Amino acid sequence: MPSVDISVNQLIDIFAEDRDTPPTVSTSLGHVMIEIQGDLQHPQKSIDPALDVDSRFIEHEGNGLVRFGILSYDLETKHVTLFIGNKQRLMGSIVKIEPPLGLLKFDKADGTVSLRDVLKYKIIFKNRPLPIM
């Protein structure tokens, strides 16, 4: 890749938006950014459906997904709570990203790069996890 244009075809509408959009968690293209201090561990493989009593593993458009938690947010207070599994919860907030972050996708197969979205807000968890009582 000595030189490659970054495609922005998907972002024409995003660029038309006001740069000072009100707080939101997902972009108009449906992307969300969650930042956790430390690691988030979850199963890497699906398990026998008979053993999956909580229906945590699902298939969606050919991809295996694992449900790892529930997130609750309030756009007014910007407070967020994340329940991970059955034992831990994290308290976080919705914050503005300064400067905004462009989501780039590098496609090695055809050597292209595209700017897929512009993220202006993220959900961040700065504190240690608390137990679920």
Is 47 among the residues that bind another protein (CB under 8 A)? no
For the CB of residue 51, give the shortest distance to another protein in the complex, in Å.
14
Helix (H) or strand (E) holding 56: none
Give the nearest distance from C-beta 36 to another protein in angstroms. 5
Total binding residues toward another protein, as defined by CB under 8 A: 68
d(C-alpha 132, C-alpha 89), whole Å: 6
Residue in 72, 79, 128, 130 binding another protein, rule: CB under 8 A:
72
Site for another protein contains 55 (CB under 8 A): yes
Query: How would DSSP label each residue in 87-128?
Result: TEEEEEEEEEEEEEEEEEEEETTTTEEEEEEEEEEEEEE-SP
Is residue 85 within 8 Å of 54, Cβ to Cβ?
Answer: no
When asked if residue 78 is in the footprint of another protein (CB under 8 A), the reply is no
CA distance 15 to 21: 12
Chain residues in the site for another protein (CB under 8 A)? 1-6, 8, 11, 15, 19, 26, 29-40, 42-46, 53-55, 57-61, 63-75, 82-83, 86, 89, 99-108, 113, 115, 118-119, 132
